[in-house]
Chains A and B, each alone.
Chain A
Amino acid sequence: MTRSKKKQKDLESALMTRKTGRMGDIVARFFRNKLGMLGLTIIVVLLILVILAPLFTKYPYYEQSFKDRFVAPCWEHPLGTDNFGRDLWSRMLYGGRISLLVSVCALLMSNIVGIIIGAICGYFGGIVDNVISRVLDVLMSIPGMLLAIAAAAALGTGPVKTAIAIAITGMPFGARIMRSSVLSIKGNEFVEAARATGSSQLRVILKHILPNTLAPIIVNATMNIGSNIMAISGLSFVGLGVQAPTPEWGSILSAGREFLRDFPPIVIFPAVFIGLTLFGFNILGDALRDALDPRLKD
């Protein structure tokens, strides 16, 4: 009796897991990963702080006050003030808006273009693939930071142009990933079946191939947000990214560098914010990869 009940329960649970399907498995695996949850928490908290910045700040980020220069962190100014007496906490939160927004925009641009190019290469193959792949090879053989710097020098400064410069550097990698996953999928029977039933090529690509290539693209994208923030800050640091009056973590950091000796908070806090964001996205990306591809994890 008990045994048959247990058997039935096993069967039920087996059916249940079947019901939740692949997506459920992925979500369950992801939520079991503690490090990944830590990453998710860091990013959600950062996003809330940055998006709802007006609620968490007392001073506008641009308000200067000469008598309050270089105030050490205190109740009134949680992170202190900078060389113009501007509240660093406000500047961090509003600066995060620019840093994250530019990073995400660059990511979207590079991935959308990359996906389109990669899909064309992988799906059609032949001479189109050959030519585009060679161009991508060339772009990838230029070190990323150098290409971004050269592109930023050509495009000029400002958030939109910085995003484009960084998107150019990231595009070949997205295209490469997309191309190889399309190549591995297009030989499957379901693609052939879709074609046999008369689906147009666009429909085959969008409805049948694209959903199956999303996993590596998503993982790559998550990892890229972090590295994009690093690149944006790097560009701002060299003076080719977002310019001084607009707060951005990298530009705050590079502007504060000359005061590092006497007033460390002005460099330490932007660094902490950049570091936390990178850390959060890195471990989130790792966790996503493990969840999407269980073979990679022990």
Chain B
Amino acid sequence: MIKYIIKRLLLLIPVLLGVLIIVFTITYLTPGDPVVSLLGSSYTPETYAAKAAEMGLDKGYFGQLGTYIFNIFTKFDFGKSYMTNNPVVESLMARAPVTAKIAMITVVIALCVGIPCGIIAAIKQYSILDYGFTSFALLSSAIPSFVLAPVFLVIFGVKLKWLPLSGLTSFKSYILPILVSAIGGFALITRMTRNSMLETIRQDYIRTARAKGMRMNAVIRKHALKNALIPVITVTGSWFAMLMGGSLIVEMIFTIPGLGTYLYSGISNRDYPIINGSVFLTSSIVCIMSIVVDILYTVVDPRIKTQFVKKKKTKVKKTEGENA
């Protein structure tokens, strides 16, 4: 198992290198000259050249890309922000925990509410509860977060004055952003749980357990739940990754100093190191999450673990046979 994890981590390196190259190329092709926008209208060719050299923009595409990647691999240096001159790594480290905290609480809440709702909807299929949860899930997945967020702000912040409008000053200011993101995830998780639960409770072993005289609750808890959870883990993993990167709009609306607002400041100021750094960071989180999800599979369903082991064994045998 550990071997497998190490192998997956090593395979990450080329993927992340690819991400770096693609993002760098995209920002490189972005029209507009960051040197000009920094210096303003009053610059001479000499000051321009000096500034460009200082920012490392005097080289060609491959030169810039080479130094960028070289600095990352040798010094873990993602460059400095053009505007503030702060190292990008420091800002990312300061902001990532904020986004991560919100994303984690959101995921936990959505799971705690979504899984039970999905199970109930599946067990009592075609009941009022089922229709209630399913239609709520369908409706809420059709409302984008950039609609929900301002509407909640007006209702709870402006009209009722219960919750603060922006910033992160007290625990109260976490409520709205988390609520907005959690509603979308709740819809996703409820639908997923319901579908896979419906599939699972029609299996033969569930019927066997019922026939033995086990109570339905116990059957669900002991036999069905773990088997039904696999697809839920998959969507939750990708959704968490999406929250880490895609909560940009929610962060903008609630002015949360997280990764999303940082990336946005990078885009609006043509601050390319910021864009590259934050996209790279969120992509790494996505990749690591997919490994975590695969590991979680083996925890929930030990059969998958034996699959890994088996694969390895047959491979070993094959290579031995070839050597012989």
Contact yes or no, B282 A137, CB < 8 A: no
Contact yes or no, B248 A279, CB < 8 A: no
Contact yes or no, B144 A141, CB < 8 A: no
Beyond the given A144-B246, A271-B151, A274-B147, could you list 4 further A-B residue pairs with CB under 8 A, ordered by the A residue number? A153-B26, A253-B147, A260-B150, A275-B139
Which chain A residue lies CB-closest to B158? A261
Q: Which residues of B contact A116 (CB under 8 A)?
A: none
Q: A141-B19, A282-B142 are in contact. Are A150 and B26 (CB under 8 A)?
A: yes
Complex A-B: 17 CB contacts under 8 Å: A134-B15, A138-B15, A141-B19, A142-B19, A142-B22, A143-B283, A144-B246, A146-B263, A146-B278, A146-B279, A149-B267, A150-B27, A153-B30, A234-B144, A240-B267, A264-B154, A274-B142
Contact yes or no, A143 B143, CB < 8 A: no
Q: A146-B279, A153-B30, A271-B147 are in contact. Are A278 and B15 (CB under 8 A)?
A: no
Decide yes or no whether B252 CB sits under 8 A from chain A: yes
User: Which secondary structure characterizes the binding site on chain B?
Assistant: helix
Contact yes or no, B279 A267, CB < 8 A: no
Chain B proximity of A269: nearest CB distance (Å)? 11
Contact yes or no, A275 B283, CB < 8 A: no
Q: How far is the CA of A145 from the CA of B278 in the complex (A)?
A: 13
Contact yes or no, A153 B267, CB < 8 A: yes
Which chain B residue lies CB-closest to A145? B246
Most B-side CB within 10 Å, residue of A146, A154, A230, A279: A146
Contact yes or no, A135 B267, CB < 8 A: no
Q: How far is the CA of A140 from the CA of B24 in the complex (A)?
A: 16
Chain A proximity of B275: nearest CB distance (Å)? 6
Contact yes or no, B15 A238, CB < 8 A: no
Contact yes or no, A279 B139, CB < 8 A: yes
Count of A-B contacts judged by CB separation below 8 Å: 127
Contact yes or no, B23 A150, CB < 8 A: yes
Which chain B residue lies CB-closest to A231? B144
Decide yes or no whether A90 CB sits under 8 A from chain B: no
Q: A134-B18, A142-B19, A238-B252 are in contact. Are A154 and B26 (CB under 8 A)?
A: yes
Q: How far is the CA of A139 from the CA of B198 in the complex (A)?
A: 34
* CB-based closest 4 A-B pairs: A138-B18, A143-B245, A279-B142, A271-B147
Chain A proximity of B183: nearest CB distance (Å)? 13
Contact yes or no, A261 B154, CB < 8 A: yes
Q: Which residues of A contact B205 (CB under 8 A)?
A: none
Q: Which B residues, 201 to 257, have Cβ-Cβ distances below 8 Å to chain A?
A: 202, 241-242, 244-246, 248-249, 252
Chain A proximity of B281: nearest CB distance (Å)? 10
Decide yes or no whether A162 CB sits under 8 A from chain B: no
Contact yes or no, A141 B15, CB < 8 A: yes
| Chain A interface residues (CB < 8 Å from chain B) | 134-135, 137-139, 141-147, 149-151, 153-154, 156, 226, 230, 233-234, 237-240, 250, 253-254, 257, 260-261, 264, 267-268, 271, 274-276, 278-279, 282-283, 298
Q: How far is the CA of A239 from the CA of B23 in the complex (A)?
A: 20
Contact yes or no, B246 A283, CB < 8 A: no
Q: Which B residues, 77 to 123, have Cβ-Cβ distances below 8 Å to chain A?
A: none
Chain B proximity of A117: nearest CB distance (Å)? 16
Q: How far is the CA of A234 from the CA of B242 in the complex (A)?
A: 14
Which chain B residue lies CB-closest to A240? B267
Q: A261-B158, A267-B150 are in contact. Are A275 and B142 (CB under 8 A)?
A: yes
Contact yes or no, A237 B15, CB < 8 A: no
Contact yes or no, B22 A283, CB < 8 A: no
Q: How far is the CA of A267 from the CA of B248 in the complex (A)?
A: 20
Decide yes or no whether B5 CB sits under 8 A from chain A: no
Q: Which residues of B contact A282 (CB under 8 A)?
A: 138, 141-142
Q: Which residues of A contact B248 (CB under 8 A)?
A: 145-146, 149, 238
Which chain A residue lies CB-closest to B244? A143
Q: How far is the CA of A141 from the CA of B8 in the complex (A)?
A: 14
Chain A proximity of B69: nearest CB distance (Å)? 14
Q: Determine which of A134, A233, A253 lies in contact with B14 in the assembled complex, contact meaning CB atoms within 8 Å.
A: A134
Q: A150-B27, A260-B151 are in contact. Are A278 and B245 (CB under 8 A)?
A: no
Most B-side CB within 10 Å, residue of A141, A230, A260: A141
Q: How far is the CA of A104 from the CA of B40 in the complex (A)?
A: 40
Contact yes or no, A143 B14, CB < 8 A: no
Chain A proximity of B27: nearest CB distance (Å)? 7
Q: How far is the CA of A230 from the CA of B144 in the complex (A)?
A: 7
Decide yes or no whether B31 CB sits under 8 A from chain A: yes
Contact yes or no, B141 A278, CB < 8 A: yes
Q: Which B residues, 114 to 161, have Cβ-Cβ distances below 8 Å to chain A?
A: 138-139, 141-144, 146-147, 150-151, 153-154, 158
Which chain A residue lies CB-closest to B20? A138
Q: Which residues of A contact B249 (CB under 8 A)?
A: 234, 237-238
Q: Which residues of B contact A237 (CB under 8 A)?
A: 146, 249
Q: A153-B275, A154-B29, A230-B144 are in contact. Are A143 and B286 (CB under 8 A)?
A: yes
Decide yes or no whether B264 CB sits under 8 A from chain A: yes
Contact yes or no, B142 A146, CB < 8 A: no
Contact yes or no, B267 A260, CB < 8 A: no
Q: A145-B245, A146-B245 are in contact. Are A138 and B144 (CB under 8 A)?
A: no
